[in-house]
Amino acid sequence: MVHWLAARQWGVRAAIAILSGVLTALGFQPFGWWPLLPFGVAGLTLAVLAARRVRGAAGLGFAYGVGFLLLGISWMQVIFLQAMFGLVGFEALFYGLLGALLKVATRSRWWPVLAAACWTGVEFTYARFPFNGFGWMRLGFAMVDSPLAWVLPLVGVGGLSFVTALIGQGIARLAAAPARRTSFIAGAVLLGILALAGAGTLVPVGQQVGMVNAGYVQGGAPGGGVYGLGEARTITRNHVAETYRLAERVGAGEVAQPDFVVLPENSTDMDPYSDAITGQLVRSEIERIGVPALLGVILAGPGVDERQTASLWWDPVAGEVSRYVKRGIVPFGEWVPLRSLLLPIIPELQYVGEQSVPGTTPGAMPVKLPDGRTTTLGIMVCYDLIYDDFAYDTVAYGGQVIVVQSSNAMYQGTGQIEQQFAITRARAMELRREILVVTTSGVSGLIDADGTIAFTAPEHVGASGVVALPQRTGLTPATWLATWLELGISLAALVWLAGTISYGRMKPKPPELERST
């Protein structure tokens, strides 16, 4: 196949690369066809193997990235079409880099391993750079329904991305030069990966130290692009109304008395301290439910033309007791990098509004319950989910009950919501903890410690209830190993690539490359 591709014009190889990107994207939600993922990875490698030069391989990688991201993050168009094209074009550059690295990697005898490490290195980089990165479409997030997902509590999302890419490289190697020895090695590697996944099933859930009854409130939102929260205070009134309905059900004995209630990110769209009406609405709903609540609020400041997204622990008597400020803020969604330069060029960026300022402390909040017991909430707010260290911090700093607050109103009707829920399921498996997800309009629900879905609330409407959640302690290997492992694989790839570049000319070319380079 490599020889056939090498004999074709560059446009044919580019078409193969684009189709491979699309194939990979189909492995992600809302499609969820995860078995296609390794074949998409293999398709890019085969196209790169047939490239004559590293420069051409970089172009093929860019083409792959365009096909992958245009389908994978097409939900961005509900904000601004220009924003989607800009993000796709920029992030595709990383896949251009990947294409070049894969071409160099194929000069090595054990290139499938090096090529998989290159995938890890590129994912590690674009998940952090620039502007804190955009790690939304990492391979590991798409594999949550596969048998391989059980490597998550051992080696995390980065490790799962590596083994997924390794399988893809094995497929490419077999397609490029099928041989009995190659098939034997590929089979052995696959058995090793499955054994690792089997070992992951032995990682226990955190030790249970108690139970709490957690209420949840999904108020519902108008939805629809940048105006997804509706007119001022609409989202606040919706959540107040649904909190009142939950209080009525508790009073009628339909649901258990909660120890506390969780409301989503942006359950208020204005600062309850600076806007008197919002403040009164918040106080009234907390007084009505009669127990502390974890509110998702927008706070003015700390500076001029700035805001913060925060989770406030609000007591019916004492008011705000504790707060966590969201750390994972979305570039061009919650803040505009290079704002003074870009606003005159792209006026639509003004709809981002005031610049969000990230928090600096881990999402672990010690709280006191009405009966005098204490627990620590592990809190992630929406985009926090994307950052491995933010997820691991929730338990490393003592989180016993894990909650995710999110506002997906602007993405109603798109695949973004399902992608985020799949990411949350991956986090539940990594941490081996139950996660309560509360959003403005869906998907709210409970995810068990094995990543399965206990329940989801109806989307796009008001919903509420009370669930019993275990309080757990303990860390999985992923929480202390995964980041260092991903960094180690990335650095090893760099060293290996450097050696390949230095000594590659002195080594004989692999048989499948003799007529294609």
Q: What is the pTM of this model?
A: 0.94
Is the pLDDT at 5 greater than 80? The verdict is no
pLDDT at 426: 98
- pLDDT value of residue 406: 96
Domains of the chain: 2-203+479-513 (no CATH), 207-472 (3.60.110.10)
Identify the band that residue 514 occupies on the pLDDT scale cut at 50, 70 and 90.
very low
Helix (H, G, I), strand (E, B) or coil at 267: coil
Q: Tell me the average pLDDT across 133-151.
A: 97
Predicted confidence (pLDDT) at residue 513 exceeds the cutoff of 90: no
pLDDT in tens, 478-497: 999 999 999 999 999 999 99
Average pLDDT over residues 342-350: 78
pLDDT tens string 50-109: 998 999 999 999 999 999 999 999 998 887 788 889 899 999 999 999 999 999 999 898
Q: Is the pLDDT of residue 469 over 50?
A: yes
| pLDDT (tens digit per residue) in 369-383 | 999 999 999 999 999
- pLDDT, tens digit (0-9, with 9 covering 90-100), for 303-334: 998 999 999 999 999 999 999 999 999 888 78
Which residue is listed with tokens 């399902």?
A: 418
Q: How much is the average pLDDT of 278-297?
A: 97
pLDDT of residue 477: 98
Q: Three-class SS of residue 54? A: helix
Q: What is the pLDDT of residues 158-197, one digit of tens each?
A: 999 999 999 999 999 999 888 888 899 999 999 999 999 9
> Helix, strand or coil for residue 381?
strand
Residue-wise pLDDT tens digits, 408-433 = 888 888 999 999 999 999 999 999 99
Q: How far is CA 316 from CA 242, 354, 431, 435, in A?
A: 17, 30, 32, 25
Asked if 217 and 246 touch (Cβ cutoff 8 Å), the reply is yes
Spatial CA neighbour of 28 closest among 425, 419, 427: 419
Q: Are 272 and 284 in contact (CB under 8 A)?
A: no
The helix (run of H) or strand (run of E) holding residue 472 is strand 463-473
